[in-house]
Structures are given as C-alpha cells and as structure tokens.
Amino acid sequence: MNYRQRRRLVVAAASVITFAIFALDLWSPLQGAVAVLYIIVILLVAQISTRRAVLLTGAGCGLLTMIAFAFDHMGDPFGSVTVRFGVSLVAISAATLLSMRDRSARTTLAEQARLLELSHDTVIIRDSNDDIIYWNEGAQALYGWSRDEALGRSCDGLLHSDFPVEEVRSALEQEGHWSGELTRARRDGTRIVLASRWLLRRDPEGNAIGVIESSADVTEQKRADAERQRSEQRYKSIFNGAAFAMWEADWTELHSHICNNVSPGVDLADWLVDHPETLRESLARVCVRDVNSAAISLFGAPAREALLGNSTLARVPPGSEAQFANLLAALIGGADMIEYEVRYVALSGRPVDALLRVRQLPGAEPWSRVLVMALDVTERNEARARLEKTSAELAHAARISTLGQLTASIAHEVNQPLSAIITYGKSAKRWLSRSEPDMVEAINCLDHIVSNGSRAADVITRARTLAKRGQVEMEKVDLGKLIVESLALIEREARQNRIVMRVTNSGEDVLVMGDRVQIQQVLVNLAINAIQAMRDVDDRPRELHIGFEVVADATVRVNVRDTGSGISGDPAQIFEPFVTTKREGMGMGLSICRTIIEAQAGRIYAVNNADHGATISFTLPVLAAEMRQ
C-alpha cells in the first residue's frame, strides 16, 4: 500500500471514529466520558498528516466535545459531568500538542534519514550484536547487497571486515568513536579499502547499544597513492644512483621574481641579458631541495648539505649569463624540457661546463619541483680545446711543410725548363754565329725557349696561386692533346737520350675535369723520370710509351711505360717524399705528382713491367657526357 492509499485509509478511519465518538458522546448515557476517545483520532491523524492538520483535528475534536456538552448538559449545575468535559478538553489539547511535537520530531528524523540515504558514503547502523539494523543506499551501491538482504545480518559475517579490532574496541570504549581504515569484501568477493568513522550508540542510561558507521571507498585513491609512492621511489633510486649529476630545486620564487620584474610581451631572454643583476637575483632565489652524489662531486661540495637550500644556479661565472637567460626564457616560455650547455663555478672555484637538461616534474605545484640533470662536459671541452690547439699547430706545421714542398716543387719543375732554355739558347747562338746563319734552326730554338719559358712561368704562377688560395683550377682538359703538348716540352731531352716516344689511345677524345698545368706537370715529371731510368740502357730499345684508356667508374687511366732499369725496392715507396736513387735527385717529384692527382680525385701507382722497366699509372675522373658541351 502506498502512502496516498494509506493516507486515504487513515482519513476514512479517523472520520468514522470521530463520527462514532460524537454519536456516543451525544446519545450515550456515559455523560462526557467518551470525548476522551478523540485522542485516538488525533493520534491517527498525526501518523499521516502535517502539524497543521493535527492542530485542526485537535480543534475539531474539541469543538465536537463542546457541541455534545452544550447539547446534553447546557444549564446543568457544575458537577462531575462538567469535570469530565473539562478533563476531555485538556486531554484533547494535550494529545494535540504532543502529537504536533512528535510530528515535528519525526519530520526532522525523516529528513535526517533521507540525508543518510542521499549520502554517497555508506551508512550502516548496527545493534549491540553487530547485526545490521540500518543500511543506506550508499552501502547498497558499494557492497552490492540490497537493504532487505543486509538487514538483520551480522555485519562482519556479511562483509568480512578486516580492521584493528583491539584499537577500535578501546577507542569506542574510551572516546565513543573511532576513525581509520579497514578492508571489506564486496558481494562479488573483491576487497575494498574504506576510510571509516564509527560512533558508539548509547541508550538513555548510557549503555552501548551498537555502532553507527559511515565509510567511504578509498581503494582507488589508495592504489593511486601507492602508485605515486612507487614512482617516487623509482625516481628516487634513479636520482640517487645516476652516474650524472641531478638536483631538484624549487623555482617558485625565481619564477615570481621574474614575473614581477619583467613586463609581459618583452623578449625575456634579451631582457635578462640586458639586466644581468635581475638574472642573478632571480637565480639566487632557486632553492635546491635534493642533490645526488654525482652533483656533489660536480660542484666539488664537501657534503650534500653544502648544496641543499642554496642556489646552485646562482653560481654563474661572468660571461655565461646569456646561456642562463636563454634557458630560463625557454622554460618560462612553456618549453617542456630544455637542454643547454652552461658554465658553473664549483664551490672550489673551478669552472665546470655542464650540459643541462631541465624540466618541471609533473604532478607538483608549478615551479615547485624542477629537475636538473647535468652532464659534466668539462673534460670533453678541455679535450676539444686541446684537439683544436693541436689541429691548429698541425695545420701550421702542414703549411710550413707545404711551403717547403712548394719550394722544392718550384725548384724541381723550373729546373728542367731552365736547363732546356739554356741549351736551346746556346744552340740558337751557335746557329746564328755560323758563317751562314741557319735562321730556321735558330727560330726553332727560339720557339723552344719561348715554350719552355712559358712552362716555367706557368709553374710559378700556379705555385703562387696554390700558395695564395690552396685551390686547384678546374677546367675541361682534352687529355690526348695535353699529352702531345707535354711530350713536345721534353722532345729535346728524349732526342738527346735516343728515346723513342709513342702515344697511344683508344681512339676517342677523352675530356677530364682538372687543372691543366698540374696534369701537365705530372706528365712531364713521369716522362722525365722514365727518360732518366732509360739513360743507361744499351741492350734494348729505349722506349717511352704513353697510353690512356677509359676504364670502369668513368675514369681514365694514363700509363707511362718505359723500358728502363725498373724500380728497385717497393714501387709504392717511390711516392714518398725525399725517396730518391739519383745523385742529384730531390725525391719530391712523385710525391708532388701524388698530391696533384689525389687532389683531382685520382690515384697514382707504379709497377715494374714483366720484361723491362716500369709503368707509372694515374687515373682521373672522365668528364660526364652532359658536361662535355
């Protein structure tokens, strides 16, 4: 039966009873005694109605009593009837007032009970036997047992509670309440952790009659706490065990100092560089909370305490402000993590170069936990500086040696055309001093003087260019043509030594990209070496054969082959500087040839021929077809 139906029933019953009492009062011979029964009506109405309705009912009942009295006994002398009438009225009034009070007390209780229902926490009331006598909706939702299933059951039997029994008992006994954590099983068997508050219930005499408890599920929170604790422990063990320096600092004051001093919109990094005093003041506000042992040694501190609380970051040597300004600006600008190389001053005064990685730890108050990882790169930087110094020294030494080579090269290269010029000059003089001067021969000699002179001038020009710029001059070179031109320069030498010179090629024009004068220098060098190697050969033809062919990888190979003495010893050795078997030799020619060829992406090597003499070969890259035009 719902509330409305119950209410209707009660109203009907109250009406019937009222009518019956009124009838009895009016017509029965009981003379007013019946009116007391109106109390039943009032109590009935009080069950289901408001205080106002109770008041109206009481007033109505009093009125009916008075009507019945007036009807039956008006004018009767004062006697027992009048007393009964008075008693009835008092009883009705008292019942009305008490019912009204009871009504409001019950309203308050109902509201409180409703509040308990509304609570998300579980509210359970137990009697002195631990049997459940109240079970709110929160309990129903959390434990999975409905109210009907839970009421009357032993709380521990139902929920398999695990809690410090003794502690709870003594707290309840002594203080009347207990709060703490306990674990319980839900209906599906899963165990949950609850933050619980228990209150001892007492009867008016002060005897314990059970417990009222309110609990909240903190399983998830506990799990998150444990997880956070585990992460913190993991972090701590990494922090303490790391081989590189780590420290954790509070940047709250640094951040607020910068925010208070810098107006929004300015370029923070530039501003801090322009205001080094603010930068230093800000850095001095950093408070180091924790450091690992690597950080202690990085800063040369005697103990952890020497760094804690201090501002490690304030130890910035002059000149390093810009790096710190950039670092701060980037972090304050919202960078999640930042990496910078900075210079600190250790407590010992030693400058320390450190590669810093700075980031705010997540889950903490902004700027309150900033983690700095620092890799000590001082040694690396010192090694780098040493290396740079050594390289500079080496470069200097190389320059000196190149200059030496260059001088030797000039001497070597110019020597040959100069002797040719002298020889041709003498010949020309002889041709002209004849009784009948041979003009043709004299002109021929002069031509040779001019070409040898230009060659010497070219060598010197190129040597100067090399000395100035250290670069080769690349141009398209027709290799076949260049070989013929080069042999023309040593034609006389060859003739004098009775050497037959031959040039062979695969029939096609081969273009290379290179330095014409330098390649010519190589060709002349190799040819003169070959001529010199054949000077003492008498038992076979003295042949100098220069051939070239395009081989794999778009390169051309030039072979300078002679029928001379061959190379004594390791053929690779002859390219080393100062290796010579000649009395007047310098041992520089082939070393310079190698430098020239390698500078033009080629290779040079020597082999002894199977029969007689040696072949010196070099390769050069062939000009790609599309670049030939």
Binding site for ligand ADP (CB under 6 A): 529-530, 533, 562, 564-567, 574, 579-582, 585-591, 614, 616
Query: Is 467 or 607 the residue whose CB approaches ligand ADP more closely?
Result: 607
The tokens describing 140, both together, are 């129903």
Q: Residue 313 in 3-state DSSP? A: helix
Residue 427: left (phi > 0), alpha (psi -120 to 50), or beta? alpha
Distance of closest approach, residue 581 Cβ to ligand ADP, in angstroms: 3
Return the ∠ at Cα 583 (arms to 582 and 589), rounded to 5°: 45
Q: Are 543 and 502 in contact (CB under 8 A)?
A: yes
Q: Are 181 and 88 in contact (CB under 8 A)?
A: no
Query: Is 136 or 529 the residue whose CB approaches ligand ADP more closely?
Result: 529
The tokens describing 54, both together, are 């109770």
Distance of closest approach, residue 480 Cβ to ligand ADP, in angstroms: 22
User: What are residue 122's phi and psi, to 5 degrees?
Assistant: -85, 135
Distance of closest approach, residue 349 Cβ to ligand ADP, in angstroms: 57
Return the ∠ at Cα 165 (arms to 159 and 168), rounded to 5°: 105
Query: Is 509 or 570 the residue whose CB approaches ligand ADP more closely?
Result: 570
Distance of closest approach, residue 424 Cβ to ligand ADP, in angstroms: 22
Distance of alpha carbon 46 from alpha carbon 262, whole angstroms: 73
Query: Is 461 or 581 the residue whose CB approaches ligand ADP more closely?
Result: 581
Distance of closest approach, residue 571 Cβ to ligand ADP, in angstroms: 8
Distance of alpha carbon 475 from alpha carbon 472, whole angstroms: 10
Distance of closest approach, residue 436 Cβ to ligand ADP, in angstroms: 41
DSSP string, 266-331: S-HHHHHHH-HHHHHHHHHT-EEEEE-HHHHHHTT-SSGGGTTTS-GGG-PPTT-HHHHHHHHHHH
Query: Is 571 or 621 the residue whose CB approaches ligand ADP more closely?
Result: 571
Distance of alpha carbon 582 from alpha carbon 584, whole angstroms: 5
Query: Is 76 or 576 the residue whose CB approaches ligand ADP more closely?
Result: 576
Radius of gyration in angstroms for the set of CA atoms belonging to the chain, rounded to a whole number: 58
Distance of closest approach, residue 434 Cβ to ligand ADP, in angstroms: 36
DSSP secondary structure code for residue 128 in this structure: T
**Burial class for 263, CB neighbours closer than 10 Å (0-12, 13-18, 19+):** exposed
Q: Are 99 and 46 in contact (CB under 8 A)?
A: yes
Distance of closest approach, residue 566 Cβ to ligand ADP, in angstroms: 6
Number of Cβ within 10 Å of residue 190's Cβ equals 10
DSSP string, 33-63: GGGGGHHHHHHHHHHHS-HHHHHHHHHHHHH
Q: Which run of H or of E encompasses 627?
A: none
Number of Cα atoms under 13 Å in the Cβ half of residue 187:
11
Q: Nearest-CA neighbor of 605 among 575, 625, 565, 569? A: 575
Distance of closest approach, residue 459 Cβ to ligand ADP, in angstroms: 15
Distance of closest approach, residue 521 Cβ to ligand ADP, in angstroms: 12
Distance of closest approach, residue 587 Cβ to ligand ADP, in angstroms: 5
Query: Is 15 or 496 the residue whose CB approaches ligand ADP more closely?
Result: 496
Q: Nearest-CA neighbor of 149 among 190, 181, 186? A: 186
**Residues with Cβ < 8 Å from 73, sequence gap 6 or more?**
31, 32, 81, 82, 85
Query: Is 95 or 560 the residue whose CB approaches ligand ADP more closely?
Result: 560
Distance of closest approach, residue 325 Cβ to ligand ADP, in angstroms: 60
Query: Is 88 or 619 the residue whose CB approaches ligand ADP more closely?
Result: 619
Query: Is 384 or 502 the residue whose CB approaches ligand ADP more closely?
Result: 502
Query: Is 326 or 529 the residue whose CB approaches ligand ADP more closely?
Result: 529
The residue number with the shortest CB distance to ligand ADP is 589
Distance of alpha carbon 252 from alpha carbon 291, whole angstroms: 18
The tokens describing 9, both together, are 């029933």
Query: Is 312 or 591 the residue whose CB approaches ligand ADP more closely?
Result: 591
**Burial class for 137, CB neighbours closer than 10 Å (0-12, 13-18, 19+):** middle
The tokens describing 145, both together, are 């047992």
Query: Is 385 or 500 the residue whose CB approaches ligand ADP more closely?
Result: 500
Distance of closest approach, residue 409 Cβ to ligand ADP, in angstroms: 11
